[in-house]
Structure 1
Amino acid sequence: MSKAKNKAKPQSNTIALNKKARHEFILEDKFEAGIELQGWEVKSIRAGKVNISETFVTIQNGEAYLVGAQIQPLHAASTHVVANPERSRKLLLSRRELDRLIGARDRQGYSLIATAMYWKKCWVKLEFFTGKGKKSHDKRTDLKDKDWSRQKERIMKHSAR
């Protein structure tokens, strides 16, 4: 007799998303970085108390930092730890990636925008892009294109019947 295997549902590795980033910026090059976290932050992330909607990446003294991410401490956190939910967190990148980011920011005027935070095995990773801000007319054309593609799908769906 064989043992019955439990079929676990595949869970999403995504912790938090910045949905407004694609609307506000023209995103170009994608980067992935590890985040230097404290113990209470990992526990809060596991509980889902993260917000990265207004985050960006800055480079200071040759190091990359995540600024504006809010990780709310748990109520059951230790009392001897001073929890700062909006502190800057260091990003773990190679020297080559840092040099590319510094060049893109300084020479070409790109911003570094965080778009997603997710689990990769047991590590928390941050996905961010280099990008430039959109003007209001760019946003309008994107909305028109999105509406038109939605209408095309509806037309094709009804014509196939």
Structure 2
Amino acid sequence: MSKSKKNNATAGQSTIALNKKAKFDYFLGDRIEAGLVLEGWEVKALRAGKAQIADAHVIIKDGEAWLLGAVITPLLQASTHVRPDPTRTRKLLLHDHEIARLTGQIERKGFTVVPTALYFKRGKVKLEIALAEGKKSHDKRATIKERDWQRDKQRILRHNA
């Protein structure tokens, strides 16, 4: 019984791509889920897991949010009459109040908006974006030190157990 409940909870959501670089380069704040305007060949490529969002970022222009720098590699089986552009600018689907809040944070406090995860949710492609503040190099060194310590701690615990 518990097995079927667990499968139902995770069946609606599957991860396509993660942006691990964002966690290292930025202090991540508020996270928002956004939809994407995609073409048919892009959805097929995403189902095959052909996406990269490591170098992507989000801009807000004329009251609309746009995803720049994301790469969706087209499949070889894509239609012959379509000329796919892997790095095209894609529109994000957000509510007006979410765009207004993001715009305020970007203009007043100097934040940037970065994508952190791309996933399917109930058959739709969703992008998790986060308000981010850039890290200085000493902050990055502290992150590396903490990560190394966590790894060493796990090795010690595994060895002693």
Q: TM-score, normalised by structure 1?
A: 0.87
1:79 and 1:149 mapped to 2: Cα distance?
50
Following superposition, the deviation at residue 156 of structure 1 comes to: 4.9
Structure with the largest fraction of helix? 2
Moved more, 142-151 or 27-36: 142-151
Following superposition, the deviation at residue 22 of structure 1 comes to: 0.4
Q: TM-score, normalised by structure 2?
A: 0.87
1:152 and 1:44 mapped to 2: Cα distance?
39
- Residue 115 (structure 1) aligned with residue 116 (structure 2): yes
2:150 and 2:88 mapped to 1: Cα distance?
41
Runs of 4+ in 1 over 3 A off after TM superposition: 149-159
- Residue 49 (structure 1) aligned with residue 50 (structure 2): yes
Cα 1:71–1:158 shift into 2, 3 Å: closer
CA offsets per residue over residues 62-89 of structure 1, 9 Å max, x none?
Answer: 0001110111111111122221111110
SS at 2:80 equivalent: coil
The aligned amino acid for 1:34 is: G
* Alignment match, 2:61: 60
Cα 1:157–1:72 shift into 2, 3 Å: closer
SS at 1:79 equivalent: coil
> Unaligned stretches of 5+ in structure 2?
1-6
* Alignment match, 2:86: 85
The aligned amino acid for 1:119 is: F
Count of residue pairs the alignment pairs up: 154
Following superposition, the deviation at residue 153 of structure 1 comes to: 4.2
Following superposition, the deviation at residue 152 of structure 1 comes to: 3.9
The structure number with the bigger radius of gyration is 1
Query: 1:7-156 residue pairs with structure 2 within 5 A?
Result: 13-156=14-157
Q: Provide the alpha-carbon RMSD of the alignment.
A: 2.2
The aligned amino acid for 1:90 is: K
CA offsets per residue over residues 35-67 of structure 1, 9 Å max, x none?
Answer: 010111101111111111101111111000111
CA offsets per residue over residues 104-134 of structure 1, 9 Å max, x none?
Answer: 1111100101111000010000011101111
1:87 and 1:114 mapped to 2: Cα distance?
16
2:39 and 2:91 mapped to 1: Cα distance?
11
